[in-house]
Amino acid sequence: MRLGAHIGTSGGLVEAVRQGRAIGAEAIQIFSKSPQMWAGPPVAPEAAAAFQEAVRAAPPLATAVHHGYLINLGSPKAFMLRRSRTAFLDEIRRAELLGVDGLIFHPGAHLGSGPEAGLRTIAESLRGALEAVPEGRVRLLLENAAGQGTALCSTLEELHSVLAAVDAPDRVGVTLDTCHLFAGGTDFRTEAGYGAFCDRVETILGRSTVRAFHLNDAKAGLGSHLDRHENIGKGEIGLPGFAPLVRDPRWTDVPGYLETPLDDDGYDRYVEDLAALRSLLAAPEEAPARPARRRPVPSKK
Using the minimum distance from each CB to Zn ion, give the nearer residue, 54 or 232.
Answer: 232
The 8-class DSSP code of residue 104 comes to E
Using the minimum distance from each CB to Zn ion, give the nearer residue, 52 or 235.
Answer: 235
Using the minimum distance from each CB to Zn ion, give the nearer residue, 29 or 75.
Answer: 29
Q: Which residue is nearest to Zn ion (CB)?
A: 227
Shortest reach from residue 50's CB to Zn ion, in Å: 26
> With CB under 5 A as the contact rule, which of the stretches 4-12, 42-50, 157-165, 220-228 interacts with Zn ion?
220-228
The count of residues interacting with Zn ion (CB under 5 A) is 2
Query: Which residues, at least 6 apart from 188, have a Cβ–Cβ distance to it below 8 Å?
Result: 178, 181, 182, 194, 197, 241, 244, 245
Residue pair 192/198 in contact by the 8 Å Cβ criterion: no
Shortest reach from residue 124's CB to Zn ion, in Å: 21
Sign of CA dihedral 34, 94, 215, 198: positive
Using the minimum distance from each CB to Zn ion, give the nearer residue, 17 or 258.
Answer: 258
Distance CA 88, CA 94 (A): 10
User: Of 125, 183, 127, 126, nearest to 154 (Cα)?
Assistant: 183
Using the minimum distance from each CB to Zn ion, give the nearer residue, 90 or 227.
Answer: 227
> With CB under 5 A as the contact rule, which of the stretches 2-10, 143-151, 237-245, 263-271 interacts with Zn ion?
143-151
Using the minimum distance from each CB to Zn ion, give the nearer residue, 49 or 220.
Answer: 220
C-alpha dist (Å) from residue 1 to 62, 89, 247: 11, 30, 8
Select the residue interacting with Zn ion from 90, 91, 101, 227 (CB under 5 A).
227
Shortest reach from residue 141's CB to Zn ion, in Å: 10
> With CB under 5 A as the contact rule, which of the stretches 36-44, 137-145, 161-169, 201-209 interacts with Zn ion?
137-145
Using the minimum distance from each CB to Zn ion, give the nearer residue, 143 or 230.
Answer: 143
Using the minimum distance from each CB to Zn ion, give the nearer residue, 227 or 273.
Answer: 227
Shortest reach from residue 175's CB to Zn ion, in Å: 8
Residue pair 71/80 in contact by the 8 Å Cβ criterion: no
Shortest reach from residue 214's CB to Zn ion, in Å: 6
Query: Which residues, at least 6 apart from 229, have a Cβ–Cβ distance to it below 8 Å?
Result: 179, 216, 217, 218, 219, 259, 260, 261
Shortest reach from residue 105's CB to Zn ion, in Å: 8
For the residues of 210-249, what is the DSSP string, one character each?
A: EEEEEE-EESS-TT-----EE-TTSSSS-HHHHHHHHH-G
> With CB under 5 A as the contact rule, which of the stretches 14-22, 34-42, 124-132, 139-147 interacts with Zn ion?
139-147
236 scored as a contact of Zn ion (CB under 5 A) = no
User: Of 141, 146, 155, 154, nearest to 104 (Cα)?
Assistant: 141
Shortest reach from residue 25's CB to Zn ion, in Å: 17
> With CB under 5 A as the contact rule, which of the stretches 3-11, 17-25, 81-89, 142-150 interacts with Zn ion?
142-150
Shortest reach from residue 31's CB to Zn ion, in Å: 11
Residue 266: left if φ>0, alpha if ψ -120 to 50, beta else—which one? Answer: left
* 100-117: b (≥16 Cβ within 10 Å) or e: bbbbbbbbbbbbebeeee
Q: Which parts of this chain interact with Zn ion (CB under 5 A)?
A: 143, 227
